[in-house]
């Protein structure tokens, strides 16, 4: 029996999955983040190895039995960045039977398979990627927290914390988010700079605070509701940009949603859906068929039989 390995390396965690040649899951593993642009290449490689080793142990499969490994790694878009990850993993995969790709592509293949459609990812960061029937791909977003990631968990949290501080100063309206900050995180507005600017605080730490924005919006808080509406609109803009470039806008096509920000459910999905359907009325907003790491494993199966020279081992 042939075995395959998928890896989903993100800003907050790394997941690995061993499957057979039908895609049936045999064992999985989790470790820390592996976006090397955020945590450094040594930490990223170490977390990938930890996740992979856990998955191999859980599946009772030796590394030499893996026919192909497909790694979707955040921050591996640029060829130079991808090569850095390849070089760091070559020791762990000495036979070279692995592919390093970006995490958006494995999310797309997991969410909609290998046909036409779009996936929008809103976790700590945000990005949208799609494919048409001709196999052309397009992408929007994914530019990081300083200049992009609109609609992401980080962006929602940042906007919520800013609204709390504006309210505290008297520059903005009162908001329930202030009370939730105290109740759920044991912080007051003056505590926020110490938390936000601490060297130990990362974007995913801030993104987790975004739950107070969701909770406040669901309780009818106007400032929080405005933040979520804006986030949904930003995600819709990325979806439509991708759909337009691929010629999908007039077609019937799936738009799958992936990432922790969508734990908000209809609170975030509703404004995103309205904006998408206004421009692409035949689009279908759907949950993903499979997880990104399952998508990576399926791409490993495909890569073993239909390798892409520009991607295999690089």
Residue 308 has pLDDT above 80, yes or no: no
User: Could you count the other beta carbons within 10 Å of the beta carbon of residue 172?
Assistant: 14
pLDDT band at 34 (very low <50, low <70, confident <90, very high): confident
- Residue 28: beta bridge partners? 17
Tokens of 160: 């919520």
Q: What is the pLDDT of residue 170?
A: 97
Residue 20 CB-density burial (10 A; 0-12 exposed, 13-18 middle, 19+ buried):
middle
pLDDT in tens, 80-103: 777 888 887 887 887 888 888 888
Residue 192 has pLDDT above 50, yes or no: yes
Q: What is the pLDDT of residue 11?
A: 75
Q: What is the pLDDT of residue 307?
A: 57
pLDDT in tens, 266-288: 999 999 999 999 999 999 999 99
Tell me whether strands 14-20 and 25-31 are parallel, antiparallel or unpaired.
Answer: antiparallel
Mean pLDDT of 161-190: 97
Residue 123 has pLDDT above 50, yes or no: yes
Residue 265 has pLDDT above 70, yes or no: yes
Q: What is the percent of the chain with per-residue pLDDT over 90, rounded to a whole number? A: 72
* Domain architecture of the chain: domains with CATH: 3-109+291-305 (3.30.420.40), 115-288 (3.30.420.40)
User: Residue 101 in contact with residue 298, Cβ under 8 Å?
Assistant: no
């Amino acid at each position: 029996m042939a075995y395959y390995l998928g890896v989903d390396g993100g800003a907050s965690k790394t997941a690995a999955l061993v499957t057979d040649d039908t895609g049936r899951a045999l064992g999985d593993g989790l470790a820390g983040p592996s976006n090397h642009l955020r945590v450094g290449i040594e930490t990223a490689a170490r977390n990938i190895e930890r996740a992979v080793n856990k998955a191999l142990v859980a599946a009772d499969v030796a590394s030499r039995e893996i026919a192909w490994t497909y790694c979707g790694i955040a921050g591996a878009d640029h060829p130079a960045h991808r090569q850095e990850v390849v070089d760091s993993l070559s020791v762990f995969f000495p036979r070279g039977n692995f592919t390093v790709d970006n995490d958006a592509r494995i999310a797309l293949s997991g969410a909609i398979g290998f046909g036409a459609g779009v996936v929008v990812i809103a976790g700590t960061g945000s990005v949208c990627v799609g494919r048409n029937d001709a196999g052309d791909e397009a992408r929007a977003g994914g530019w990081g927290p300083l200049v992009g990631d609109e609609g992401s968990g980080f962006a929602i949290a940042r906007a919520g914390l800013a609204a709390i501080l504006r309210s505290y100063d008297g520059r903005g309206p009162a908001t329930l988010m202030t009370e939730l900050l105290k109740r759920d995180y044991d912080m007051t507005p003056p505590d926020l700079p110490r938390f936000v600017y601490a060297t130990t605080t990362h974007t995913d730490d801030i993104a987790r605070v975004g739950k107070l924005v969701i909770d406040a919006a669901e309780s009818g808080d106007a400032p929080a509701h405005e933040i979520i509406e804006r986030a949904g609109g930003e995600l819709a803009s990325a979806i439509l940009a991708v759909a337009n470039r691929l010629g999908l806008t007039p077609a019937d096509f799936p738009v799958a949603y992936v990432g922790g920000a969508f734990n908000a459910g209809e609170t975030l999905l509703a404004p995103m859906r309205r904006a998408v359907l206004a421009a692409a009325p035949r689009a279908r907003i759907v949950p993903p068929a499979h997880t990104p790491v399952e998508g990576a494993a399926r791409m490993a199966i495909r890569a073993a039989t239909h390798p892409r020279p520009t991607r295999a081992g690089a």
